[in-house]
Amino acid sequence: MKAINHTFKKDLRSNISFYAAIGLLTMFAVFLSAVGFSDAAMIKDDIHKIMTEQHVEDAQFLTALEMTDEDISALEEKYDARIEQDAYLDYEEGEKSWRIFRGMDKVNVYTLLEGDDITGDNEILFDRDFADSNSLETGSTYVLDGHEFLIKGIGVRPDYLYSKKNDSDPWVDKENFGMILMTASGYDKLRESCQWQETRYYSVEYGDEERSEDFRRDIYENFHAYSYISDQSNSRINTPATSGDKIFSEAIVLIPVMAIVILILVAIVIGRMLEREQKYIGTLAALGYRRGEIGRHYMIYAIIPGIIGSVLGMALALIAGRDLAMYFVIDFQKLNYNYYIRPLIAVLCMVVPSLLFGLVAYRKTMKIFRRNVVSMLAERDDRTGRKHGMLEKSSMSFRRKFRIRELFSHPGRTVLILFCLLLSAFMCLEGFAMKDMVNDLVDKGAEKAAVYEYSYYLNHMELESDLGGVHGISTSYETPDNGASIGVMGVPEDSRFGGLEMKEGSFGSGFYISNAVSVERGLHKGDSIEVANPVTLEKYELEIFGVVADNTQQMIYTTYDEARKLMGLDEAYYNVVYSDEELPISGEDLAYVSDSKSMLDTFESAMSALSGFINGVMFMGVLMSVVSVYLVVNMIVESNKSSISMLKVLGYRDREINGIVLNTNHVLVILGFLLALPMCIALLRGVSAVMVSRMHVVLEPSFSPVSALICAAIIIISYFVSLFLLRRKVSRIDMVVSLKGNRE
Amino acid sequence: MNMIGGIDTLDSGSITVDGVEISGYSKKKLVEYRREKIGFVFQFYNLIPSLTARENIETTVDIAVNTPIDVKELMEKLDITPFANRYPNQLSGGQQQRVAIARAIAKNPALLLCDELTGALDSKSAAEVLDFIEKVNQTYHTTILIITHNEAIKGIADKVIRVKDGKVISQETNTHKVSVAELEL
């Protein structure tokens, strides 16, 4: 076998484009598989680890009666729980705001990501996102409202991995919201020396989750609990905690499909390459080589691009996998993720492509052996005979008939190229459509979420003072079916809320759900929704009178009076002030302020991060188009080599030959694109549903005709780039060599 | 023959066809030369497998510079009509070679080059094909250059040139021209 194995070098040189294209596609499939599963596993494992080891809370609550250390110890023992009072200070300056946390011992314990731990009173740790966005360096001094701090490093709390300032914010604002961690004594000293707003609450981690309801009743009855937010209702915890599983469930559906498609494409190409080798196989057989020996020879022939592609794909996965994973967790604090390719994935990625290609080559070789040696030497397949049969009696020009027959006489090849073009167009369309969806949300989302320029959320129920503006009331409930949080907003009557844009019904008295709730829960006008008071666990069945066109908030809108009635408030309490002017409300009264401009900024910054990922999808679509079209049209050129050569002999110009041979698939580009459109729209609906369940916002499927045209142009250009590359191949086909090839 | 036909280039010497020196032609000019002046017939027919007999003939009509011969008429005259709609793999060797000849002459070339045109055929088919070539010569007055190792074929030629190891060793006018039926193939 040594003698025939010497031909590898020659094969490699003469089929360099084949090896490059197969290697590239294999690399793509391996990279996608290795990165997709490893990223999902990494995100799941590392977030779970930090939440478990740092004792993330299962719930936080507020009580009217203060709990003493003894009370806490007694409850901990009774319910096998860890309970600790949590505290933070809020300070704002211009657009920026800071939240300074007191170091915890039992629950929500921070973890040091970088630098040295804090020990001194003026030493602080920053969160990584804010430090990166504001170019803060470890070892430098940071001054806040006249207080000097020494930045010792970077840290993160397990309950603030998704670091939204307020849980009701649609997205994080990494640049303007900073989190500072201090030692307990440093924090206490700072609190005494500043006038910043402090928030205190209790955090609990259950040893036995099943006893949580008893615990909630206990604190309600004995300590007059008036607020209880479970981790299911707390998007800062729930969103990162479930992200790994969600990415994994998407990866397990999408990645194998893509990888299998690519590997099948490669396997088909290898099969057709071997078809061209039948004369050589026949010669070896005539010389006395055994079938097994020849089969093994061609196995290695096919395994080479498999190994090259696998190695390159794995190398790329090792280099770029971690950075790519960051797109999946772009909204969360950057942890020190422990990225590595999972051993099982690594083995599968290294073995499956080569094994598959090798087996395809072996099987194809054995199949060729079913022909007799004479047929092989004459490069004929006498067993089946090629069937071209169509349009024999038509008066159509032979050029057109040639193209039509090329399409229909090789249905497998045609379906394959159609599928590749469809997939490419689909990926490209998907990228553009997602961009349109995101732009639509950015353009309209902030506008719909903010009726007034400013919304002041108070940290208490106000009754006596009139703080200006118009007054509303807002509170949070749970949905008993899944424990998720849902806001109830009582909006002032005779205000601009009367003109809320509606999806269903018209706004008046009664309860109205936001479109985000409607889409996520499949509820509409006339249905009802069950909510529970998170403190008393009392349940209420609310009839839905309509759907408000609010895609960004999980909210039930109602009138101020209805809300008060629901909450059991007899007097005209309020805790939200709406105004178009900035109001001089003291920081002591405020929980937070929401203004339309900062909301728009937040939307834009969150969506610009997503754009990178979308561009990546589009690039892959284009790459896929160029490579797959190149591979398949290359197959057409190879299988028509002698016809091309003959057309040259007859005096056809290269341009004319290109027109006959290369332009066979034009119709498939159009067909692929047209088929990709409805697929894209269907997937957009799916993406919209995923975004609702993952981020609780609705991305309305939206796709502009301009985007469709740009996308069509990209696909057509990439298609013609492939054809342009192949023109050189056609022009290099030598008349003499081909004619000799036919003669031997 | 490849060099005369403009599908190969020469390292030394020169080729003059119809009084024109073609050895210095560029690739582009050679394409035009083949297109206008040359018709080829090969030992192994080289028909395009996905085209029928009629369509194979049409490939040259499509690019003909001179007034092409009517395909229908050509097929009638050369007895191709009965299998005009069949594909090459449905034809015998003799039939394929007849289609190849029809294809070569359909564009009405000045020179028809035949390379071992009976080399892959049995004696009966070879006789049919030669008869056919003769018919072409008589009907369309096409100059035909046949290259062969078969001595017997020289009987139907007007002029016989012998070549050995790339050199012309003799040139003679055939004064005893015979019909195909008289050839001992």
Closest chain A residue to B6 measured between Cα atoms? A649
Q: Is B86 part of a structural domain of the chain?
A: yes
- Contact: B7, A646; criterion CB under 8 Å: no
User: Do the Cβ atoms of A649 and B40 come within 8 Å?
Assistant: yes
Count of domains forming chain B: 1
Per the CB < 8 A criterion, the answer to whether A560 and A494 are in contact is: no
C-beta separation of A373 from A286 below 8 A: yes
**Chain A within 8 Å of B34 (Cβ-Cβ)?**
yes
Q: What are phi and psi of A493, to 5 degrees?
A: -75, 165
The reply to whether residue B46 touches residue A735, judged by beta carbons under 8 angstroms, is no
Which residues have a Cβ under 8 Å from the Cβ of A450 and sit 6 or more positions away? Answer: A594, A595, A596, A599
Whether A649 contacts chain B with CB within 8 A: yes
A561 neighbors A493 (Cβ within 8 angstroms): yes
A732 touches chain B (CB under 8 A): no
Taking only the tens place, the pLDDT of each residue in B103-136 is 988 888 889 999 888 887 788 888 888 888 888 8
User: Are B50 and A656 a contacting pair at CB < 8 A?
Assistant: no
Q: Which helix (H) or strand (E) holds A203?
A: strand A197-206
In angstroms, the CA A601 to CA A158 distance is 26
| Domain annotation covers residue B5 | no
Determine, for residues B34 and A409 on separate chains, whether the beta-carbon distance falls below 8 Å.
Answer: no
Q: Is A200 helix (H, G, I), strand (E, B) or coil?
A: strand
- Which pLDDT belongs to residue A556? 94
Rounded CA-CA distance A146/A482 in Å is 46
**What span, in angstroms and rounded, lies between the C-alpha atoms of A235 and A251?**
23
Residue B94 lies in domain:
16-155
Tell me how far CA of residue A735 lies from CA of A185, A221, A277, A647, B104, in angstroms: 88, 95, 20, 9, 16
- Nearest residue to A671 (alpha-carbon basis) of A441, A407, A284: A407
* Nearest chain B residue to A388, by CA: B50
CB distance A161 to A333 below 8 Å: yes
Q: Is residue A178 a contact partner of residue A98, using CB atoms and an 8 Å limit?
A: yes
Which among A662, A656, A659 has a CA at the least distance from the CA of A639?
A: A662
A243 torsion bin: left (phi>0), alpha (psi -120 to 50), beta (else): alpha
pLDDT at A606: 61
Question: Is B44 within a domain?
Answer: yes
Spatial distance between the Cα atoms of A358 and B106, rounded to a whole number of angstroms:
48
Q: Do B50 and A735 touch (CB under 8 A)?
A: no
In a domain, B120, yes or no: yes
- Interchain contact, B2 vs A736, CB within 8 Å: yes
**Which among A611, A693, A253, A673 has a CA at the least distance from the CA of A437?**
A611
In angstroms, the separation between the Cα of residue B176 and the nearest Cα of chain A is 33
Given CB atoms, is B40 within the 8 Å cutoff of chain A? yes
What is the C-alpha separation between A285 and A290, in angstroms, rounded? 7
Query: Is ipTM strictly over 0.85?
Result: yes
Compare all CA atoms of chain B with the CA of A387 and give the residue at the minimum distance.
Answer: B50
Q: Do A397 and B62 touch (CB under 8 A)?
A: yes
Q: What is the pLDDT of residues A591-633, one digit of tens each?
A: 777 776 766 666 666 666 566 667 777 777 777 777 777 777 7
Is residue B169 a part of any domain in this protein?
no
Answer yes or no: do B7 and A643 touch at CB < 8 A.
no
Min Cα–Cα distance to chain B from A741, Å: 10
Tell me, letter by letter, the H, E, C secondary structure of A82-129: EEEEEEEEEEEECCEEEEEEECCCCCCCCEEEEECCCCCCCEEEECHH
Residue of A nearest to B112 (CA): A650
Quick one: CA torsion of A714, A720, A725, A727, rounded to 10 degrees? -170
User: What's the pTM value of the predicted model, to 2 decimals?
Assistant: 0.65
- DSSP type of residue A492: P
The SS3 assignment for B142 reads coil
What is the structure's pLDDT at A262? Answer: 72
CA nearest to A417, candidates A268, A201, A315: A268
Whether the per-residue pLDDT at B159 is higher than 90: the answer is yes
Tell me the C-alpha distance between B67 and A608, whole Å.
Answer: 66
Instruction: Please give the interface size between A and B, counted as residue pairs whose CB atoms are below 8 Å apart.
Output: 84
Copy the structure tokens of residue A622.
């284009």
Handedness of CA B20, B22, B24, B28 (dihedral sign): positive
If contacts are CB pairs under 8 Å, which of residues 398-457 in chain A contact chain B? 398-399, 401-402, 405-406, 409
Contact predicate A513/A544, CB 8 Å: yes
**Inter-chain CB proximity A402 and B42 less than 8 Å:** no
| Contacting residues of B for A647, CB less than 8 Å apart | 48, 59
Q: How far is CA B165 from the centre of its chain?
A: 23
Q: Are strands B111-115 and A528-532 parallel, antiparallel or unpaired?
A: unpaired
Which residue on chain B is closest to A647 by alpha carbon?
B59
Angle, CA A613 vertex, CA A705 and CA A249 arms, to 5°: 105
Report the residue from A386, A399, A742 with minimal CB separation from B46. A742
Tell me the Ramachandran region of residue A130: left when phi exceeds 0, alpha when psi lies from -120 to 50, beta otherwise. Answer: alpha
Do the Cβ atoms of B42 and A397 come within 8 Å?
no
Note whether A398 contacts B51, CB cutoff 8 Å: yes
Write the CATH number for B122: 3.40.50.300
Q: Is B135 on the interface with A (CB under 8 A)?
A: no
For residue A738, what is the nearest residue in chain B, using CA coordinates?
Answer: B46
Domain-located, residue B1: no
Q: Do A398 and B49 touch (CB under 8 A)?
A: no
Contact present, A374 and A287 (Cβ < 8 Å): no
Contact A743 B8 (CB under 8 A): no
Of the two residues A702 and B100, the one the predictor is more confident about is B100
Sign of the dihedral defined by the CA atoms of residues B136, B142, B143, B148, in that order: negative
Which of A388, A652, A742 minimises the CB distance to B44? Answer: A742
Whether A392 sits inside 8 A of B85 (CB atoms) is yes
The Cα B184–Cα B123 span in angstroms is 9
Q: Which residues of chain A have pLDDT under 50?
A: 384-386, 742-744
Three-class DSSP category at A510: coil
The residues in B 105-134 lying below 8 A from A, measured between CB atoms, are 107
**In this complex, is the C-beta atom of B46 within 8 Å of any C-beta atom belonging to chain A?**
yes
* Residues A535, A537, A540, A544, Cα dihedral to 10°: 60
- Spell out the residues 6+ positions from residue A552 whose beta carbon is closer than 8 angstroms to its own: A170, A441, A445, A448, A449, A514, A516, A697, A698
Say whether residue B9 is in contact with chain A using an 8 A CB cutoff: no
Examine residue B129 and state whether it is found in any structural domain, yes or no: yes
Of B8, B86, B87, the CB nearest to A736: B8
Q: Which residue of B has its CA nearest to A648?
A: B31
* Out of B31, B60, B89, closest to residue A653 by CB: B31
Nearest Cα neighbor of A259 from A308, A299, A310 is A310
As a whole number of angstroms, the distance between CA B185 and CA B178 comes to 13
Q: Which residues of B145-181 are buried (b: 16+ CB within 10 A; e: fewer)?
A: bbbbeeebbbbbbeeeeeeeeeeeeeeeeeeeeeebe
Per-residue CA distances from A35 to A27, A244, A255, A349, A451 (Å) = 12, 13, 10, 11, 43
Contacts of B32 in chain A (CB under 8 A): 651
Residue A385: which of B47, B89, B103 has the nearest Cβ?
B89
Q: Are A210 and A131 in contact (CB under 8 A)?
A: no
pLDDT at A12: 65
Spatial neighbors of A451 by CB under 8 A, at least 6 apart, are: A491, A496, A497, A500, A578
Question: Cβ of B55 and A401 within 8 Å?
Answer: yes
> CA-to-CA distance for A412 and A440, rounded, in angstroms?
41
Q: Is residue B108 part of a domain?
A: yes
